[in-house]
Structures are given as C-alpha cells and as structure tokens.
Amino acid sequence: MTGRARIERVLDRARWAPSGDNTQPRRLQIISDDHAVVLGSDTRRTVVYDLRGHASQIAVGALLEHVAIAASGEGLRVTLSRRPSSGGSENEEHPVFDVRFSADPGLAPDPLSPFLETRTVNRRPFGTVPLTFCEKKELEARLPEGYRIQWLEGWKSRFAMADLNQRSGKLRLTIPEGYAVHREIIEWNARTSEDRVPDRALGLSPFILPLMRWIMGRWERVAFFNCFLGGTLIPRLQLDILPALFCSSHFLLLAPAPPRTLDDYVAGGRALARFWLGCAARGIQFQPEMTPLIFSSYVREGIRFSTAPHAPRLAEEIARRLSRLGGEATDRAVFLGRVGRGAFPSSRSLRKPLPVLTDEGQNERNPSDDASGKA
C-alpha cells in the first residue's frame, strides 16, 4: 500500500468521530504521504448550542484522537500541532491542525482501534444495573493524565438528572433558536443520515414521529402546541426523563482545570473520544447530555443566547441545579452524559464520504484560506 493510500485509510476511519448533531465541523487535506491537515470550522454562527465554538472544538479534538488511534493500527505514530493564529474569534472559528505521520514498527495498535466505526450514540433508555468497580476503573484508566470521571449513580442522582434534563428539554424546545437548529439537523423518515441525525435515532417512539414532523414544519405550530397543548410533555418524557432514569450512571468528564481556551476544549475532545470508545469496547451504551452544561456555561459567561423572555430564568435554574449535583468540580466539566447496558441502536448517523471531507469533493469555502491569510 502506498503512503498516501495508508493515510487515506486512516482518515477514512477517523471521520467516524462524533460531533454535535453530526455537523462534522471539519475538512481534511492530504498534503503528502506523511502529512495531513485538519481544518476546523465551528458552528457558532448558526447553532445555539455552540455559541463559543466549544462543542465544535470538542468534536475536532475527538477527530484528532480518532486519527491517532487509526494511525496506530497502520503502525504510524502521529504528531499534532495547531497552527498559530493571530488571535480573535475569527481565527478561533477556523483552527488548523497539522498531522504528521511517521512509521514506527514497534508501535502496537491502540486497543480502541477496532471500535472507531462501531461507537455510536444511543438515545433510548438503558438497563439500570450499575457498572462494576472494575469497569469504571478500566474506563478511567483510558483517560489522558489529569482527567477523571465523576460518576452520578443511584436513583437520587438519576432523578436529579431527569429533572435537570427535562428543564433543559423545555428550554431547547421552546426557544426559536433551538427550533432553527432542530429543523436543520433532523433527517425525517430515515434510519441513517450522512450529514444529519436520522429521526429514528432521536429516541422518540415511531408513533409520534409523524406528528412531531408536522409540528416542526413551522415555528408557529411549535409555539401554539407549546402554549396550549403541552407540546413539550411527550418529547421531554421520551427524550429527557425516561433515558435519564433508566441508565447505569450519569457522568461528568472533568478536565485537570476549568476549560477556558480552544486548546482546552480540543484536549477535552480527545479525552472524550477515549472514554466513549472505551465504553464501546465494553459494549456499554452511551449518550451525551450536553445541553444542561452548555446552558450553564452561558449563564456563567453572561451570554444572551435567546430572544425568548423566559430563557434566562430557565437557564439560571438549570445552572443552579447542575452545580448542586456536580458539586465543586462542576466548573472543570467538559462533558456530561450517561452510560448503561442495552441493545445496540437500530438507527444511527453515518458520515460524509472522505472525498467530500477532503479537497477532492470540496466545493464549499475552504477554512484554511482564513488561516493562511488568503482572501
């Protein structure tokens, strides 16, 4: 196999890395037989859950970790470096990473490598049997130095998370900014989707999907059902309350220090990837529960994220409850989610094909133009 074919294979496997709502906020370039470039481009301008770009930065970090793991399967060691930017949010929106590959015959394939393609989110309720002490220790051992997991176990924590998630669900479903995102990212009548989330993977029962689809066709319908017919009750029950009650544990992924910079979130994404793949390796189901953490960060940073008058009050309550649940360590959290045992989901997001993510299929604006100062 040529050097280029090997790198293509690595990137083809790495593109299965997760991203918020399957937005895949990155492009890839193969420069030579030992050099590739990852071009991040975050979704802060269009996605209310990414107003500081942190969700996209976590996703880019996960992708970089997937590259390193896939490369190990080819006997290639990876050196990563972010190109210096001249500062400012414009540059933060388009971080550029050089990935250099070097052959290392002594390098063992990362044990997480077989799970790059099969790792997936599961939004259904899981079994409630707790993870064993050994399982938890093994999962924590896979994390980079300084990261740790705060487990939120037992019925009390699960009730508290159900309460937190349904508040967050109410906020998500009743702000126009949330509607604008959901309308774009759901692929209706689908079991798989290359660039969005198929409706069957949302966690809603198939019986209410047609009604949801109709309601979501127009914001006026959403607003009417929310006001007069308790329109968020069933989705909150199915998407937030039941999954939060039925799982082995919720968890906070804690960084060594409160994450602040782009690099902190990229590093957090690399840690997340190892934790999620570790769960996949053990057959443990996994779902991120990021919106309480995201809304809490908006409260902490004083970010006005919605025009809806009720939004700040609901977000403040969510922030209060999350910090009560997570305690002192909450400000070090980069990720919130739940794990448990259950059947592999029958519906999932796929990925854009490699030629679309690389220059060959690219007809969108190239983020590297910004980084290199080209017009």
Ligand X SMILES: Cc1cc2nc3c(=O)[nH]c(=O)nc-3n(C[C@H](O)[C@H](O)[C@H](O)COP(=O)(O)O)c2cc1C
Binding site for ligand X (CB under 6 A): 18-22, 55, 58-59, 62, 120-121, 123, 197, 287-291, 348-349
User: Residue 76 or 297: which CB sits closer to ligand X?
Assistant: 297
Q: Shortest distance, CB of residue 284 to ligand X, whole angstroms?
A: 14
Nearer to ligand X, 259 or 288 (CB): 288
C-alpha 219/C-alpha 117 separation (Å) is 36
Count CB-CB contacts under 10 A for residue 64: 25
Question: Measured from the CB atom, is 107 or 180 closer to ligand X?
Answer: 180
Q: Which of 30, 39, 32 is nearest to 63 (CA)?
A: 39
**Torsion sign across C-alpha atoms 234, 240, 243, 246:** negative
Are the CB atoms for 240 and 162 separated by under 8 Å?
yes
Q: Do the beta carbons of residue 28 and residue 13 sit within 8 Å?
A: no
For residue 375, the minimal CB distance to ligand X (Å) is 31
Smaller CB distance to ligand X: residue 75 or 114?
Answer: 114
Q: How far is the CB of 131 from ligand X (least distance, A)?
A: 20
Is the Cβ of residue 92 or residue 101 nearer to ligand X in the bound state?
Answer: 92
Question: What are 295's two structure tokens?
Answer: 């809304």
Q: Residue with CB nearest ligand X?
A: 18
Residue 245: Cβ-neighbour burial (10 angstroms; 0-12, 13-18, 19+): middle
Q: Which tokens is 201 given?
A: 């993977």
> Contact, 181 vs 48, CB < 8 A?
yes
Closest approach of ligand X to the CB of residue 16, in Å? 6
Least distance (Å) from ligand X to the CB of residue 33? 29
Element (H, E) at 186: strand 186-187
Q: What would the two tokens of residue 309 be? A: 């008058």
In the bound state with ligand X, the residue whose beta carbon lies nearer, of 197 and 281, is: 197
Query: Least Å distance between CB 243 and ligand X?
Result: 9
CB 203 within 8 A of CB 236: no
CB of 362 to ligand X, least distance (A): 21
Residue 230 to residue 46: CA distance in whole angstroms: 27
Q: Take residue 114 and report the two structure tokens written for it.
A: 């077989």
Please, which residue, 76 or 202, has the CB nearer to ligand X? 202
